Structure formats: C-alpha cells, structure tokens
A and B are shown apart, each in its own frame.
Chain A
Amino acid sequence: MIDVSGLTVRFSGITPIDDMSLVFPVGTCGLIGPNGAGKTTFFNVLSGFVKPVAGTITAFDQDLLKMADFRRARWGLRRTFQTEMAIEQLSVYDNVAMIHEHSGAKRSSRRSDVHTALEFVGLPIAPKTKVGVLNARERRLVELARAVVGEPRLVLLDEPAAGLPDEETAHLSQVIRKIPDAFGALTILVDHDMSLVSRCCATTAVLDFGKLIALGPTEEVLRDEQVIKAYLGTEEDVAPLDATEDE
C-alpha cells in the first residue's frame, strides 16, 4: 500500500503536482491523465529525482521521501522509463542481473531469480544475446524483467507499451497484470493506452494539471464525466502552453 498525502511539486512558476492525496491499495493500479498532468513527475518524486515542496509518501509503512535516491532500489523500488532504457552493450541476462546485484537480494539466488524473471515476461531470446540486436518489443520485455527481479515492492511502469503495435500490447498486458500475484509488488502503470490500463488495473487514478480528479475502480473512472472532459478538453478548460511536460 502506498499513501500519498498533500504532495506538491513546484518548479519555477509551474506546479506539476498540486496538493495530491491518494492511496494506492494492493494490486496493479493505473495512473492516467492528459499530457502534462504530472504522471511522470509523480514517478520522479517516487524515484527521488524530484524533491517535493510539501507532502508525504508512506510506502509499506516507510517514509519514502526520507530515503536516498540510490537506496530506493535496494528497498524494492523498480521503474521503467518512457523511452526504453535497456542497456545495449550488455546481454539480456546481464541487463537483469545488474538490477539484482544492486537490489539487496541474495547473490546465491541470482541465476535462478534472473531466469525466473525472464520466463515470467515470456522473452523468447537466449539470455546471452546482446540487447543491442533486439527489437523494440523484446527490449520492452527486458525492461519488464528488470522491473520485477530481486524482490520488488513497488513497480513503476511509465508507458511500457509506448511505440508498440496493438497485438504486442496484449501480451504485455497479460504480463503486467500478473506482477502483483507473482512477485507481491504493488504496480503502478502510467499509459495513454486506455485498453491497456483497463485490462491491467482494478484501480485507476486520474490526474489533470497536477490535481487528482478521480480515483476508483477503473471501469467507473473511465466513465466519469470529469475524466472524459479532461481528456477531450472543453472551451473553458484550455490547457495553458507552459504546463505541457515533455511527454
């Protein structure tokens, strides 16, 4: 469980996250919103890249904001980025083993843990293959394996399906949906693909201009009038230009 209360992030002049309070229960939770809504900024706060001006985040009874950024991985935080960041120079195995090495999980279980993660994501590639020769879909699966290896507690997936065709997103959604049961990790999924979010997530939160505008069962949230308005935009609610994040 992760409990966010009164979270505010401010950069010079703009407020990407404005007094956000929400609770993500267990399972896979969605986090959606139009461009510039503050989704990635929220992930950056969780990763420790961005320091909020106010608010607290309690994750599994621990104050996440007090933890040094590079220690959060050891604690159990995993994340992927919008742009795929699997390491080209390394093999598939080394890509995943590298996360395991810094996770605090036991060294003796590394080989089996890495293979479990690779089997879990269903990557049909020899583990010794260099990531540099893989295609976009395979690299996304490597990233997913990196996100679940080494006893994760909180898995943040930032548009894991970006740039993938629909038929490949289907396999991805099956994998993502299974993460909480297989590894016991709370998973937060940010994506623009509503079909992916509704297939994976029981609970979904919606952000708009840094404010939480809806939170609840995914089906209900997606039918919410305010959410539809936020996505389609209305006459009196035109997005100011400077609020757009580089998403």
Chain B
Amino acid sequence: MSTAPAASPEAGARAPFGIERRLAIRAVVIAALLVFVLVPLPSLVGSDWLTTFSSTAIYAIVALGFGILYGRVGMISLGQVALLSVGVWIGARLAYGTGMPYPILLLATGALTCAVGTLVGLPSLRLSGLYLALITLMFAGATTIVLSVTDFPNGGGGFKGRSVTGALTTETPPVRRPSIAEGDVAFYRYIVIVAAIMFLLALIHVASKPGRAWASIRESEPAALAAGVNITFYKMWAFALASFMTGVAGCLFASQVGVPRVITFRTQDSLTLAATALIGGVFSLWGALVAAVFNQVLPFLFQAEWGIDTNFLLIIFGVGLLQVLLTAPGGLAQQFPRDVANLGRFVLRGIRSLRRPKGERP
C-alpha cells in the first residue's frame, strides 16, 4: 500500500525487489505467528483463554467470508453469523447422524452450508447496497426464529433425534471432535490449523483469476462485463466460497462447545460481525483476524476479566466503525502499519534533532 508511485524507469526497476522482500518478510511473520499460537501459547494461558482463542480462530473464518464478499466483490451480507449457526446446526446433525471421519464431516458441513449460503446470495445478482443488506439481515432474523422454534440443537441419535430439555444424556453426548484432537488443547490446535487452511484458500482465490474478476466487478460492473467477466458466475462463486468457509467454521464451533445453544447466535451478532470486520479492514486478510479479536477477545476481557457489561462494546464498536469509515476506510489492518511507520519516522526525526548540536541549527 505504501509503495510510492515510481516516477522514472529506474525507480520502476527497483520496485520489484522491494515487493519481493516485503513478501518474504510477510511470510516469515505469518509463519512465526502461526508457530507461536500453535506451540507455546496453549501452555501459557488458562483454559478459559484457550476457549476464547478457539472461538477467535473460528470467527476469523467467518469475518474472512464477510471480507471476501464485501471487500473483494462489494456485496454486503449481514447474515454471516446466521450462516455460521446454520453451519453449527448442519455440523451437529451430521455428527450425531453419521460416523464419517472428522475431516469429511467438515467438508460435508461446508458443502451443505455452501448450498444454503449461495441460495441466500442469489438476490445479489439483482440487488446491491442497502437492499442486499436488508435481505441478508432478514435471512439472519429468519434463521434465529427457525432455530429457536426447533429447539436447536436438540441433540440425539440420528438426524432427527430430539432432546427437548437440551440436557446431556448418554443418548445426547457432546458433538464429537476428531479422534486425533479430543482434548481442549489439541482441538484448539486443530481449529487454528483448519483456520490457517481457510486463510490459504482465500489467499489463493484472491491472488488468482477469481480474485481479479472480483476486483473488476467491485470497480465497475459494466467494465467487468466489457472485459468478458461472467458476473453471475463470479458473484455466486464468492458466495459459495464464503459460505463454505463459514460452514466449516460452524462445524468446528459445534465440536468446540460440545453443546451448541441457540442463545449463542443472535441476529444482532451478524451486524456486530460486519461492524468489527469493517473496523479490522475488509481489503486485507489480516483484517479478518483483527475483526475476530474484536469480536471474541474484547467481550471476554470485558466480562470475565474486568467485569464490565459486554453491551458497552456495542458503543465502542459503533464509535470505532465511525472512526474507521471517516478516517481509514482500509480498517485497522491498513491503518495500523501506517501509524506505526509514522510513529517510527517521528521518533527517528526526534532522535536526529536531539543528536544535532544546538549551534548548527539554522
């Protein structure tokens, strides 16, 4: 982002080296971060923090889906957490009803959620902006109602097993976890690895043909059409990818909490997710991570650590969103590195002026 426009051919020739070096630095930073959260982090924190980090990784996937839809293609969807709850529901039902290996369970949940999400995305072919936002928000509301009416998750044997009380019995054990990751720490690592794979999937898409087609649709639909982009296909592809990832996240969520409850997913959560995703930054994949931290770590800090009502967070998110939309449309993911660079420059300048003897100053 901070590449200065190259004014001369020589400057242009130098730039690729800078970009490649930046890529290498980025890869090292990501690898180091991944190793840190996978290896030492679980032993450094308590189990409540571990649960929070697990759901942070899960919500990062959801925010990633929102980022693809809005940041890459320009389609606003306010039903992403509702779609997550659909994923949770499908994942839980498939886990109770079938004995398929866990990775297959993840893929199957992703595929079924993908079908639902793509259906919800169909109006995006004709509608955009406020209308699409309203339609997807209605979907979120409808999902909440359907799940409440059906006593979600009402676990029990098979696909249709019911347990109205929701209490754990021998017949309704918690939603199963992969056999290689039964324990909390192991499953936390499993979630982080799956989330990393989802980010990789998003990165591959963004950096290749679909990503370029999405960017052209976002810039201008007539120009994309004139460039031969099949707009219907690529819009649906974006919804399919985002819903698939959200479905996978839902299945992880079901296993992570063991007994998912309908109260966990409120219609307004889809709105909060959209707000935090915008604060984090929808144009960068890092933004999804920042969004998840805002969405999961902050409420935990407020409630469990500081004893403050989490509803205050809504005010903070509101102010944060206003601030981001007015001053930094790229979100924290873009603004924070810039601020750090500016601060660094400011400090350097300060040090230099201190070093210079007073007499030399003009």
Cβ contacts under 8 Å, A19 to chain B: none
**Interchain CB contact under 8 A, B209 and A129:** no
Interfacial chain A residues near B213, Cβ < 8 Å: 98, 101-102
Is A28 interfacial (CB 8 A cutoff)?
no
Chain A residue nearest to B15 (CB atoms) is A126
Interface stretch (choices B4-12, B48-56, B159-167): B4-12
Q: Are A125 and B4 in contact (CB under 8 A)?
A: no
CA distance A47 to B14 in the complex (A): 39
Question: Are A103 and B8 in touch, CB under 8 angstroms?
Answer: no
Instruction: Determine the chain B residues whose CB is within 8 A of the CB of A48 once the complex forms.
Output: 225
CA distance A166 to B15 in the complex (A): 29
Closest to B19 in A: A128
B130 within 8 A of A: no
B228 touches A70 (CB 8 A): yes
Residue A178 at the chain B interface, CB threshold 8 Å: no
Closest Cβ of chain A to B228, distance in Å, is: 3
Q: Which residues of B1-28 are within 8 A (CB) of A?
A: 1, 3-6, 8-9, 12-16, 19
The answer on a CB contact under 8 Å between A102 and B223 is no
User: How many Å lie between the Cα of A70 and that of B8 in the bound state?
Assistant: 37
Q: Is the beta-carbon distance between B212 and A124 smaller than 8 angstroms?
A: no
Any A CB within 8 A of the CB of B41: no
With a CB–CB cut-off of 8 A, which chain B residues contact A69? 225
Instruction: State whether the Cβ of B182 lies closer than 8 Å to any Cβ in chain A.
Output: no
Across the interface, which residues of A come within 8 angstroms of B5, CB to CB?
125, 129, 133-135, 138
CB pair B3–A133 under 8 Å, yes or no, is yes
Nearest residue, chain A, Cβ from B217: A87
Q: Does A4 contact B (CB under 8 A)?
A: no
Q: Which residues of B lie under 8 Å from residue A79 when comparing CB positions?
A: 226
By size class, the interface of chain B is 20 to 34
Q: A88-B219, A124-B8 are in contact. Are A102 and B229 (CB under 8 A)?
A: yes
Asked if A73 meets B228 with Cβ closer than 8 Å, knowing A85-B220, A124-B6, A130-B1, the reply is: yes
> How far is B212's CA from A127's CA once the two chains are assembled, in angstroms?
15
Report the Cα distance A134→B3, complex, angstroms.
10
Is A11 in the interface zone, CB < 8 Å from B? no
CB distance A146 to B227 under 8 Å? yes
Residue of chain B at shortest CB distance from A85: B223
A101 touching B225, Cβ below 8 Å: no
* A99 contacts B by Cβ under 8 Å: yes
CB pair B6 A129 closer than 8 Å: yes
Q: Is the CB of A125 within 8 A of B12?
A: yes
Q: Which chain B residues lie closer than 8 Å to A70 at the CB level?
A: 225, 228-231
Hey, which chain A residues are within 8 Å of B212, CB to CB?
A: 87, 90, 94, 97-98, 101
Tell me, in angstroms, the Cα distance from A129 to B4 when the chains sit together: 9
How distant is the Cα of A134 from the Cα of B223 in the complex, in angstroms? 19
| Whole-angstrom distance between the Cβ of B99 and the nearest chain A Cβ | 43
The minimal Cβ–Cβ distance linking A242 to chain B, given in whole angstroms, is: 23
Using CB atoms, name the residue of chain B closest to A49: B222
A125 to B6, CA, bound (A): 6
Residues of A within 8 A of B283 (CB): 89
Additional A-B contacts beyond A47-B222, A129-B15 (19; CB < 8 A): A47-B226, A48-B225, A70-B228, A73-B226, A81-B222, A85-B223, A86-B219, A87-B212, A87-B215, A90-B215, A97-B212, A98-B212, A98-B216, A99-B228, A102-B213, A126-B14, A126-B19, A130-B3, A146-B227
The 9 closest A-B CB pairs, nearest first, are A73-B228, A102-B228, A126-B15, A98-B212, A85-B223, A126-B12, A87-B219, A124-B9, A89-B215
8 contacts between A and B (CB under 8 A): A49-B225, A85-B220, A97-B212, A99-B227, A102-B227, A124-B6, A124-B8, A133-B3
